[in-house]
Protein backbone atom coordinates (compact mmCIF):
# COMPACT_ATOMS: atom_id res chain seq x y z
CA UNK A 1 0.00 0.00 0.00
CA UNK A 2 1.38 3.39 -0.92
CA UNK A 3 1.42 5.99 1.79
CA UNK A 4 2.42 9.66 1.60
CA UNK A 5 5.99 10.59 2.39
CA UNK A 6 5.24 12.60 5.53
CA UNK A 7 3.27 9.66 6.97
CA UNK A 8 5.99 7.09 6.30
CA UNK A 9 8.53 9.56 7.73
CA UNK A 10 6.54 9.89 10.96
CA UNK A 11 6.02 6.13 11.28
CA UNK A 12 9.64 5.20 10.60
CA UNK A 13 11.00 7.88 12.97
CA UNK A 14 8.72 6.59 15.76
CA UNK A 15 9.74 3.01 14.99
CA UNK A 16 13.43 3.93 15.02
CA UNK A 17 12.88 5.38 18.50
CA UNK A 18 11.48 2.03 19.63
CA UNK A 19 7.75 2.73 19.40
CA UNK A 20 5.06 1.04 17.33
CA UNK A 21 3.30 3.31 14.82
CA UNK A 22 0.74 2.82 12.08
CA UNK A 23 -1.53 4.62 9.66
CA UNK A 24 -5.00 3.88 10.99
CA UNK A 25 -8.73 4.19 10.43
CA UNK A 26 -10.36 5.95 7.50
CA UNK A 27 -7.16 6.33 5.47
CA UNK A 28 -6.50 2.57 5.43
CA UNK A 29 -10.13 1.93 4.50
CA UNK A 30 -10.06 4.49 1.69
CA UNK A 31 -6.74 3.26 0.29
CA UNK A 32 -8.00 -0.32 0.17
CA UNK A 33 -11.03 0.97 -1.72
CA UNK A 34 -8.78 2.75 -4.19
CA UNK A 35 -10.02 6.13 -2.96
CA UNK A 36 -7.89 9.11 -2.04
CA UNK A 37 -8.03 9.48 1.77
CA UNK A 38 -9.19 12.88 3.03
CA UNK A 39 -6.54 12.78 5.71
CA UNK A 40 -4.08 10.32 7.20
CA UNK A 41 -4.12 9.54 10.89
CA UNK A 42 -1.26 7.89 12.74
CA UNK A 43 -1.56 5.89 15.95
CA UNK A 44 1.40 4.99 18.10
CA UNK A 45 2.46 3.38 21.35
CA UNK A 46 4.33 6.61 22.21
CA UNK A 47 2.58 8.95 24.64
CA UNK A 48 2.30 12.61 23.60
CA UNK A 49 5.39 13.74 25.51
CA UNK A 50 7.39 10.94 23.91
CA UNK A 51 6.09 11.89 20.45
CA UNK A 52 7.35 15.42 21.07
CA UNK A 53 10.70 13.99 22.12
CA UNK A 54 10.98 12.05 18.85
CA UNK A 55 10.24 15.15 16.73
CA UNK A 56 12.16 18.01 18.41
CA UNK A 57 12.59 19.57 14.95
CA UNK A 58 8.88 19.59 14.04
CA UNK A 59 6.27 22.10 15.18
CA UNK A 60 3.65 20.23 17.20
CA UNK A 61 0.23 21.40 18.36
CA UNK A 62 -1.55 19.98 21.40
CA UNK A 63 -4.83 19.52 19.52
CA UNK A 64 -6.37 16.86 21.78
CA UNK A 65 -3.73 16.20 24.31
CA UNK A 66 -6.21 14.81 26.89
CA UNK A 67 -7.18 12.10 24.44
CA UNK A 68 -3.59 11.55 23.38
CA UNK A 69 -3.69 13.49 20.12
CA UNK A 70 -1.03 15.91 18.93
CA UNK A 71 -0.76 17.41 15.46
CA UNK A 72 2.57 17.42 13.67
CA UNK A 73 2.88 20.26 11.20
CA UNK A 74 4.60 18.38 8.42
CA UNK A 75 3.21 19.03 4.90
CA UNK A 76 -0.07 20.07 6.47
CA UNK A 77 -1.17 18.75 9.86
CA UNK A 78 -0.94 15.07 10.74
CA UNK A 79 -2.75 13.85 13.84
CA UNK A 80 -0.72 11.39 15.87
CA UNK A 81 -2.68 9.66 18.62
CA UNK A 82 -1.47 7.37 21.36
CA UNK A 83 -3.06 3.88 21.41
CA UNK A 84 -5.88 4.16 23.87
CA UNK A 85 -8.82 2.42 25.40
CA UNK A 86 -11.86 4.42 26.31
CA UNK A 87 -13.19 4.45 29.84
CA UNK A 88 -16.88 4.17 30.67
CA UNK A 89 -19.31 6.20 28.54
CA UNK A 90 -21.78 8.09 30.63
CA UNK A 91 -23.91 9.81 28.04
CA UNK A 92 -23.67 8.09 24.64
CA UNK A 93 -21.29 10.82 23.63
CA UNK A 94 -17.87 10.75 25.14
CA UNK A 95 -15.89 8.57 27.51
CA UNK A 96 -15.47 9.79 31.07
CA UNK A 97 -11.79 9.05 30.71
CA UNK A 98 -9.36 7.52 28.28
CA UNK A 99 -6.29 5.56 29.16
CA UNK A 100 -3.26 4.86 27.07
CA UNK A 101 -2.20 1.36 26.18
CA UNK A 102 0.87 -0.07 24.49
CA UNK A 103 -1.43 -2.49 22.70
CA UNK A 104 -2.56 -1.78 19.12
CA UNK A 105 -5.24 -4.49 19.28
CA UNK A 106 -6.92 -2.80 22.25
CA UNK A 107 -6.94 0.47 20.32
CA UNK A 108 -8.48 -1.12 17.23
CA UNK A 109 -11.08 -2.91 19.36
CA UNK A 110 -12.57 0.38 20.63
CA UNK A 111 -13.21 1.68 17.09
CA UNK A 112 -16.62 1.81 15.45
CA UNK A 113 -16.72 -0.39 12.34
CA UNK A 114 -14.62 -3.27 11.08
CA UNK A 115 -13.73 -1.32 7.93
CA UNK A 116 -12.44 1.52 10.15
CA UNK A 117 -10.48 -0.73 12.51
CA UNK A 118 -7.45 -1.55 10.38
CA UNK A 119 -3.89 -0.30 10.72
CA UNK A 120 -0.97 -0.31 8.33
CA UNK A 121 2.76 0.15 8.39
CA UNK A 122 5.34 -0.82 5.76
CA UNK A 123 6.97 -3.03 8.35
CA UNK A 124 3.88 -5.07 9.27
CA UNK A 125 1.57 -4.65 6.30
CA UNK A 126 -2.17 -4.45 7.03
CA UNK A 127 -3.33 -5.40 10.51
CA UNK A 128 -6.96 -6.39 10.38
CA UNK A 129 -8.12 -8.27 13.47
CA UNK A 130 -11.89 -7.86 12.88
CA UNK A 131 -12.35 -8.83 9.24
CA UNK A 132 -12.37 -5.30 7.84
CA UNK A 133 -10.99 -6.39 4.48
CA UNK A 134 -13.64 -9.07 4.11
CA UNK A 135 -16.39 -6.56 4.93
CA UNK A 136 -14.91 -4.06 2.50
CA UNK A 137 -14.94 -6.66 -0.25
CA UNK A 138 -18.51 -7.69 0.57
CA UNK A 139 -19.65 -4.08 0.99
CA UNK A 140 -20.80 -4.35 4.59
CA UNK A 141 -20.80 -1.90 7.50
CA UNK A 142 -20.53 -3.90 10.69
CA UNK A 143 -19.60 -2.80 14.18
CA UNK A 144 -16.47 -4.08 15.87
CA UNK A 145 -17.86 -6.45 18.49
CA UNK A 146 -21.33 -5.97 19.99
CA UNK A 147 -23.33 -3.34 18.13
CA UNK A 148 -25.27 -2.21 21.23
CA UNK A 149 -22.02 -1.50 23.02
CA UNK A 150 -20.50 0.46 20.15
CA UNK A 151 -23.61 2.57 19.62
CA UNK A 152 -24.14 2.86 23.36
CA UNK A 153 -20.70 4.43 23.70
CA UNK A 154 -21.27 7.07 21.03
CA UNK A 155 -24.73 7.42 19.53
CA UNK A 156 -23.32 9.47 16.68
CA UNK A 157 -22.00 6.17 15.35
CA UNK A 158 -25.60 5.37 14.40
CA UNK A 159 -25.46 8.22 11.92
CA UNK A 160 -21.91 7.35 10.92
CA UNK A 161 -23.10 3.87 9.95
CA UNK A 162 -25.89 5.40 7.89
CA UNK A 163 -23.47 7.84 6.29
CA UNK A 164 -20.82 5.24 5.44
CA UNK A 165 -23.44 2.94 3.95
CA UNK A 166 -24.61 5.82 1.74
CA UNK A 167 -21.22 7.14 0.70
CA UNK A 168 -19.66 3.71 0.15
CA UNK A 169 -22.85 2.16 -1.26
CA UNK A 170 -22.61 -0.59 1.39
CA UNK A 171 -25.24 -2.69 3.14
CA UNK A 172 -25.47 -2.61 6.92
CA UNK A 173 -25.10 -5.93 8.72
CA UNK A 174 -28.46 -7.07 10.21
CA UNK A 175 -27.33 -7.00 13.83
CA UNK A 176 -25.77 -3.57 13.28
CA UNK A 177 -28.92 -2.07 11.77
CA UNK A 178 -31.09 -3.69 14.44
CA UNK A 179 -28.98 -1.95 17.11
CA UNK A 180 -29.17 1.35 15.20
CA UNK A 181 -32.95 1.16 15.32
CA UNK A 182 -33.02 -0.03 18.90
CA UNK A 183 -30.76 2.74 20.19
CA UNK A 184 -31.87 5.55 17.86
CA UNK A 185 -33.42 7.51 20.74
CA UNK A 186 -29.92 8.18 22.08
CA UNK A 187 -29.35 10.47 19.08
CA UNK A 188 -31.22 13.12 21.05
CA UNK A 189 -28.13 13.49 23.24
CA UNK A 190 -25.83 14.28 20.35
CA UNK A 191 -25.10 17.90 19.54
CA UNK A 192 -26.89 19.41 16.56
CA UNK A 193 -23.56 20.28 14.93
CA UNK A 194 -22.36 16.68 14.89
CA UNK A 195 -25.73 15.44 13.65
CA UNK A 196 -25.74 18.04 10.89
CA UNK A 197 -22.21 17.16 9.78
CA UNK A 198 -23.11 13.49 9.32
CA UNK A 199 -26.41 14.29 7.60
CA UNK A 200 -24.67 16.60 5.13
CA UNK A 201 -21.92 14.07 4.39
CA UNK A 202 -24.58 11.48 3.57
CA UNK A 203 -26.67 13.84 1.45
CA UNK A 204 -23.79 15.01 -0.71
CA UNK A 205 -21.85 11.75 -0.66
CA UNK A 206 -24.05 9.19 -2.41
CA UNK A 207 -27.53 7.83 -3.09
CA UNK A 208 -29.53 8.10 0.12
CA UNK A 209 -32.77 6.42 -0.93
CA UNK A 210 -32.10 2.74 -0.18
CA UNK A 211 -30.85 3.27 3.37
CA UNK A 212 -33.02 6.28 4.21
CA UNK A 213 -36.04 4.15 3.24
CA UNK A 214 -34.93 1.13 5.24
CA UNK A 215 -33.78 3.15 8.26
CA UNK A 216 -36.47 5.82 8.07
CA UNK A 217 -36.97 5.68 11.83
CA UNK A 218 -33.35 6.74 12.34
CA UNK A 219 -33.88 9.61 9.89
CA UNK A 220 -37.07 10.60 11.73
CA UNK A 221 -35.12 10.69 14.95
CA UNK A 222 -33.15 13.69 13.67
CA UNK A 223 -35.95 15.22 11.55
CA UNK A 224 -39.24 14.08 13.12
CA UNK A 225 -41.11 16.44 10.79
CA UNK A 226 -40.47 13.91 8.00
CA UNK A 227 -42.50 11.21 9.72
CA UNK A 228 -45.91 12.32 8.37
CA UNK A 229 -44.44 11.96 4.86
CA UNK A 230 -43.76 8.24 5.35
CA UNK A 231 -46.23 6.31 3.20
CA UNK A 232 -48.33 9.43 2.55
CA UNK A 233 -49.99 8.63 -0.79
CA UNK A 234 -50.21 11.54 -3.19
CA UNK A 235 -53.26 10.44 -5.26
CA UNK A 236 -52.51 12.53 -8.32
CA UNK A 237 -51.37 11.62 -11.83
CA UNK A 238 -48.23 13.66 -11.26
CA UNK A 239 -46.83 11.24 -8.70
CA UNK A 240 -45.88 7.60 -8.52
CA UNK A 241 -44.36 7.57 -5.04
CA UNK A 242 -45.60 8.47 -1.59
CA UNK A 243 -44.28 11.80 -0.29
CA UNK A 244 -41.26 10.35 1.52
CA UNK A 245 -40.09 8.14 -1.33
CA UNK A 246 -40.63 11.05 -3.73
CA UNK A 247 -38.49 13.28 -1.52
CA UNK A 248 -35.64 10.76 -1.42
CA UNK A 249 -35.86 10.13 -5.15
CA UNK A 250 -35.60 13.89 -5.69
CA UNK A 251 -32.53 14.14 -3.43
CA UNK A 252 -30.85 11.36 -5.42
CA UNK A 253 -31.84 12.86 -8.76
CA UNK A 254 -29.77 15.98 -8.13
CA UNK A 255 -26.02 15.95 -8.78
CA UNK A 256 -25.35 19.13 -6.79
CA UNK A 257 -22.94 18.85 -3.87
CA UNK A 258 -24.25 22.05 -2.29
CA UNK A 259 -25.63 21.15 1.17
CA UNK A 260 -28.41 23.76 0.99
CA UNK A 261 -29.65 22.33 -2.31
CA UNK A 262 -29.75 18.80 -0.91
CA UNK A 263 -31.47 20.03 2.25
CA UNK A 264 -34.00 21.94 0.15
CA UNK A 265 -34.81 18.73 -1.72
CA UNK A 266 -35.02 16.71 1.48
CA UNK A 267 -37.48 19.23 2.91
CA UNK A 268 -39.25 20.59 -0.18
CA UNK A 269 -42.51 18.68 0.34
CA UNK A 270 -42.38 18.38 4.10
CA UNK A 271 -45.66 20.25 4.54
CA UNK A 272 -47.55 18.29 1.90
CA UNK A 273 -49.26 15.97 4.38
CA UNK A 274 -50.41 18.97 6.44
CA UNK A 275 -51.75 20.82 3.40
CA UNK A 276 -53.43 17.84 1.73
CA UNK A 277 -56.91 18.35 0.23
CA UNK A 278 -58.76 15.96 -2.03
CA UNK A 279 -60.89 17.71 -4.63
CA UNK A 280 -62.28 16.79 -8.06
CA UNK A 281 -60.77 13.32 -7.99
CA UNK A 282 -57.23 14.41 -7.22
CA UNK A 283 -55.01 15.46 -4.31
CA UNK A 284 -53.99 19.12 -3.94
CA UNK A 285 -51.36 20.61 -1.68
CA UNK A 286 -51.99 24.30 -2.06
CA UNK A 287 -49.65 26.45 -0.01
CA UNK A 288 -47.15 23.68 0.74
CA UNK A 289 -44.13 25.53 -0.74
CA UNK A 290 -44.48 28.62 1.47
CA UNK A 291 -45.34 26.60 4.58
CA UNK A 292 -42.55 24.15 3.71
CA UNK A 293 -40.04 26.98 3.33
CA UNK A 294 -40.76 28.15 6.87
CA UNK A 295 -40.61 24.65 8.26
CA UNK A 296 -37.35 23.95 6.37
CA UNK A 297 -35.79 27.06 7.89
CA UNK A 298 -36.94 25.99 11.39
CA UNK A 299 -35.45 22.54 10.95
CA UNK A 300 -32.16 23.86 9.58
CA UNK A 301 -31.89 26.39 12.40
CA UNK A 302 -32.38 23.57 14.88
CA UNK A 303 -29.62 21.60 13.13
CA UNK A 304 -27.37 24.68 13.41
CA UNK A 305 -26.86 25.29 9.71
CA UNK A 306 -25.27 28.63 8.86
CA UNK A 307 -27.61 31.51 8.03
CA UNK A 308 -26.63 31.64 4.37
CA UNK A 309 -27.52 27.97 3.82
CA UNK A 310 -30.79 28.39 5.70
CA UNK A 311 -31.79 31.40 3.60
CA UNK A 312 -30.87 29.60 0.39
CA UNK A 313 -32.74 26.41 1.22
CA UNK A 314 -35.76 28.41 2.37
CA UNK A 315 -35.84 30.24 -0.94
CA UNK A 316 -35.43 27.06 -2.99
CA UNK A 317 -38.30 25.39 -1.13
CA UNK A 318 -40.48 28.49 -1.50
CA UNK A 319 -40.08 28.60 -5.27
CA UNK A 320 -39.60 24.91 -6.15
CA UNK A 321 -43.15 24.51 -7.37
CA UNK A 322 -43.56 27.64 -9.50
CA UNK A 323 -45.35 26.53 -12.70
CA UNK A 324 -43.09 27.67 -15.48
CA UNK A 325 -44.99 28.86 -18.52
CA UNK A 326 -42.13 29.29 -20.97
CA UNK A 327 -42.09 33.09 -21.23
CA UNK A 328 -39.31 35.55 -20.53
CA UNK A 329 -41.30 37.93 -18.24
CA UNK A 330 -42.01 35.16 -15.72
CA UNK A 331 -38.32 34.27 -15.61
CA UNK A 332 -37.29 37.91 -15.11
CA UNK A 333 -39.70 38.20 -12.19
CA UNK A 334 -38.53 34.93 -10.70
CA UNK A 335 -34.90 35.99 -11.07
CA UNK A 336 -35.73 39.20 -9.27
CA UNK A 337 -37.07 37.21 -6.31
CA UNK A 338 -34.47 34.45 -6.27
CA UNK A 339 -31.39 36.44 -7.28
CA UNK A 340 -29.08 35.89 -10.26
CA UNK A 341 -26.65 33.57 -8.49
CA UNK A 342 -29.21 31.14 -7.13
CA UNK A 343 -31.35 30.65 -10.23
CA UNK A 344 -29.26 27.71 -11.55
CA UNK A 345 -29.77 26.03 -8.18
CA UNK A 346 -33.53 26.53 -8.42
CA UNK A 347 -33.55 24.96 -11.88
CA UNK A 348 -31.55 22.03 -10.49
CA UNK A 349 -34.12 21.59 -7.71
CA UNK A 350 -37.01 21.80 -10.18
CA UNK A 351 -35.41 19.18 -12.45
CA UNK A 352 -34.77 16.79 -9.57
CA UNK A 353 -38.34 17.28 -8.33
CA UNK A 354 -39.72 16.53 -11.79
CA UNK A 355 -37.56 13.43 -12.25
CA UNK A 356 -38.94 12.09 -8.97
CA UNK A 357 -42.56 12.46 -10.10
CA UNK A 358 -44.53 10.12 -12.38
CA UNK A 359 -43.84 10.12 -16.09
CA UNK A 360 -47.04 12.04 -16.73
CA UNK A 361 -46.09 15.02 -18.94
CA UNK A 362 -42.52 14.69 -17.75
CA UNK A 363 -40.93 15.62 -21.09
CA UNK A 364 -43.09 18.73 -21.23
CA UNK A 365 -42.19 19.74 -17.66
CA UNK A 366 -38.47 19.25 -18.30
CA UNK A 367 -38.68 21.21 -21.56
CA UNK A 368 -40.25 24.13 -19.65
CA UNK A 369 -37.40 24.07 -17.13
CA UNK A 370 -34.87 24.01 -19.99
CA UNK A 371 -36.66 26.92 -21.66
CA UNK A 372 -36.71 28.78 -18.33
CA UNK A 373 -32.99 28.29 -17.92
CA UNK A 374 -32.36 29.42 -21.51
CA UNK A 375 -34.40 32.56 -20.85
CA UNK A 376 -32.48 33.18 -17.65
CA UNK A 377 -29.16 32.91 -19.52
CA UNK A 378 -30.48 35.19 -22.24
CA UNK A 379 -31.50 37.75 -19.59
CA UNK A 380 -28.04 37.67 -18.06
CA UNK A 381 -26.21 37.76 -21.39
CA UNK A 382 -28.22 40.84 -22.49
CA UNK A 383 -28.37 42.32 -19.02
CA UNK A 384 -32.15 42.62 -19.23
CA UNK A 385 -33.63 44.71 -16.46
CA UNK A 386 -34.72 42.47 -13.55
CA UNK A 387 -34.33 44.70 -10.50
CA UNK A 388 -35.15 48.19 -9.29
CA UNK A 389 -31.47 49.06 -9.34
CA UNK A 390 -31.34 48.19 -13.05
CA UNK A 391 -34.18 50.56 -13.87
CA UNK A 392 -33.24 53.65 -15.93
CA UNK A 393 -34.99 55.94 -13.40
CA UNK A 394 -34.73 56.07 -9.62
CA UNK A 395 -36.51 57.38 -6.54
CA UNK A 396 -35.26 60.94 -7.07
CA UNK A 397 -36.85 61.02 -10.54
CA UNK A 398 -40.17 59.83 -9.13
CA UNK A 399 -39.98 62.46 -6.36
CA UNK A 400 -39.30 65.16 -8.92
CA UNK A 401 -42.50 64.17 -10.68
CA UNK A 402 -44.36 64.96 -7.45
CA UNK A 403 -44.72 61.46 -6.07
CA UNK A 404 -44.03 61.02 -2.39
CA UNK A 405 -43.60 58.45 0.37
CA UNK A 406 -44.80 54.98 -0.48
CA UNK A 407 -45.97 56.14 -3.92
CA UNK A 408 -42.36 56.31 -5.01
CA UNK A 409 -41.64 52.63 -4.40
CA UNK A 410 -45.00 51.64 -5.83
CA UNK A 411 -44.39 53.65 -9.01
CA UNK A 412 -40.91 52.22 -9.51
CA UNK A 413 -42.26 48.71 -9.01
CA UNK A 414 -45.01 49.32 -11.58
CA UNK A 415 -42.41 50.63 -14.01
CA UNK A 416 -40.19 47.60 -13.41
CA UNK A 417 -43.10 45.23 -14.00
CA UNK A 418 -43.99 47.02 -17.22
CA UNK A 419 -40.37 46.69 -18.39
CA UNK A 420 -40.16 43.01 -17.44
CA UNK A 421 -43.48 42.36 -19.18
CA UNK A 422 -42.06 43.95 -22.33
CA UNK A 423 -44.71 46.71 -22.29
CA UNK A 424 -42.19 49.57 -22.20
CA UNK A 425 -38.47 49.91 -22.82
CA UNK A 426 -36.04 50.45 -19.99
CA UNK A 427 -35.39 54.01 -21.13
CA UNK A 428 -35.62 57.19 -19.14
CA UNK A 429 -38.22 59.02 -21.22
CA UNK A 430 -40.58 56.04 -21.43
CA UNK A 431 -40.26 55.36 -17.71
CA UNK A 432 -40.86 59.00 -16.76
CA UNK A 433 -44.03 58.95 -18.91
CA UNK A 434 -45.13 55.77 -17.18
CA UNK A 435 -44.52 57.24 -13.71
CA UNK A 436 -46.29 60.49 -14.64
CA UNK A 437 -49.26 58.47 -15.87
CA UNK A 438 -49.38 56.63 -12.55
CA UNK A 439 -49.28 59.90 -10.63
CA UNK A 440 -52.24 61.22 -12.63
CA UNK A 441 -54.19 58.07 -11.83
CA UNK A 442 -53.32 58.04 -8.13
CA UNK A 443 -53.91 61.75 -7.64
CA UNK A 444 -57.15 61.62 -9.65
CA UNK A 445 -55.91 64.28 -12.01
Question: Comparing C-alpha atoms, which of 159, 144, 134, 155 is closest to residue 105?
Answer: 144
Stretch touching ligand CTP by CB under 6 A, among 83-91, 112-120, 338-346, 413-421: 112-120
Q: Does 382 bind ligand CTP (CB under 6 A)?
A: no
Q: How far is the CB of 216 from ligand CTP (least distance, A)?
A: 22
Q: How far is the CB of 4 from ligand CTP (least distance, A)?
A: 15
User: Which of 117, 316 has the CB closer to ligand CTP?
Assistant: 117
- Give the separation between CA 262 and CA 49, rounded to whole angstroms: 44
Q: How far is the CB of 1 from ligand CTP (least distance, A)?
A: 16
Q: How far is the CB of 129 from ligand CTP (least distance, A)?
A: 13
Question: What number of other Cβ atoms are within 10 A of residue 431's Cβ?
Answer: 25
Q: How far is the CB of 155 from ligand CTP (least distance, A)?
A: 9
User: Which of 85, 290 has the CB closer to ligand CTP?
Assistant: 85
- What's the number of CA atoms in the CB half-sphere (13 Å) around residue 380? 12
- Give the separation between CA 445 and CA 439, rounded to whole angstroms: 8
Stretch touching ligand CTP by CB under 6 A, among 89-97, 108-116, 330-338, 364-372: 108-116
User: Which of 41, 225 has the CB closer to ligand CTP?
Assistant: 41
Q: How far is the CB of 9 from ligand CTP (least distance, A)?
A: 20
User: Which of 169, 287 has the CB closer to ligand CTP?
Assistant: 169
Q: Does 111 bind ligand CTP (CB under 6 A)?
A: yes
Q: How far is the CB of 351 from ligand CTP (least distance, A)?
A: 29
Q: How far is the CB of 183 from ligand CTP (least distance, A)?
A: 14
User: Which of 119, 264 has the CB closer to ligand CTP?
Assistant: 119
User: Which of 141, 328 has the CB closer to ligand CTP?
Assistant: 141
- What's the number of CA atoms in the CB half-sphere (13 Å) around residue 184? 18
Distances (CA, A) of 42 to 19, 34, 38, 59, 224: 12, 19, 13, 16, 38
Q: How far is the CB of 164 from ligand CTP (least distance, A)?
A: 8
- Give the separation between CA 430 and CA 415, rounded to whole angstroms: 9
Question: What number of other Cβ atoms are within 10 A of residue 181's Cβ?
Answer: 15
Q: How far is the CB of 111 from ligand CTP (least distance, A)?
A: 4
Distances (CA, A) of 319 to 150, 234, 360: 43, 20, 21
Q: How far is the CB of 160 from ligand CTP (least distance, A)?
A: 6
- What's the number of CA atoms in the CB half-sphere (13 Å) around residue 303? 25
Q: Does 180 bind ligand CTP (CB under 6 A)?
A: no
User: Which of 7, 419 has the CB closer to ligand CTP?
Assistant: 7
Question: How many residues line the site for ligand CTP (CB under 6 A)?
Answer: 12
User: Which of 40, 305 has the CB closer to ligand CTP?
Assistant: 40
Of 33-72, which residues contact ligand CTP (CB under 6 A)?
38, 41
Of 131-170, which residues contact ligand CTP (CB under 6 A)?
154, 156-157, 160
Q: Does 116 bind ligand CTP (CB under 6 A)?
A: yes
User: Which of 154, 407 has the CB closer to ligand CTP?
Assistant: 154
- Give the separation between CA 441 and CA 5, rounded to whole angstroms: 78
With CB under 6 A as the contact rule, the residue among 15, 23, 26, 128 that binds ligand CTP is 26
Q: For 430, list phi and psi in degrees, rounded to 5.
A: -65, -40
Stretch touching ligand CTP by CB under 6 A, among 109-117, 187-195, 291-299, 415-423: 109-117
With CB atoms as reference, the residue minimizing the distance to ligand CTP is 26
Q: What sign does the dihedral 286-203-180-184 (CA atoms) show?
A: negative
Q: Does 25 bind ligand CTP (CB under 6 A)?
A: yes
User: Which of 31, 272 has the CB closer to ligand CTP?
Assistant: 31
With CB under 6 A as the contact rule, the residue among 107, 112, 225, 314 that binds ligand CTP is 112
Contact footprint for ligand CTP (CB under 6 A): 25-26, 38, 41, 111-112, 116-117, 154, 156-157, 160
Amino acid sequence: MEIPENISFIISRLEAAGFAAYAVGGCVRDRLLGREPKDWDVCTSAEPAAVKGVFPDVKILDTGIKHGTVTLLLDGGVEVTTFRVDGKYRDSRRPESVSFTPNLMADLARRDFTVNAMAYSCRTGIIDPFGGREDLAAGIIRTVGAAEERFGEDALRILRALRFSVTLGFEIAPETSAAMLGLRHNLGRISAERVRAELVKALIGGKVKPQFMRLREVVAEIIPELRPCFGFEQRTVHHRYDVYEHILTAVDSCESREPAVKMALLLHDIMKPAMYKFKNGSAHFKGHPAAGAKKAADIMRRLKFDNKSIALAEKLVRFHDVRLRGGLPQILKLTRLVGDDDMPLLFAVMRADTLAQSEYRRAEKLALIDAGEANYRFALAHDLCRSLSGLAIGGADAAELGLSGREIGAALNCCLNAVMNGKIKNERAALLDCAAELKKRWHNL
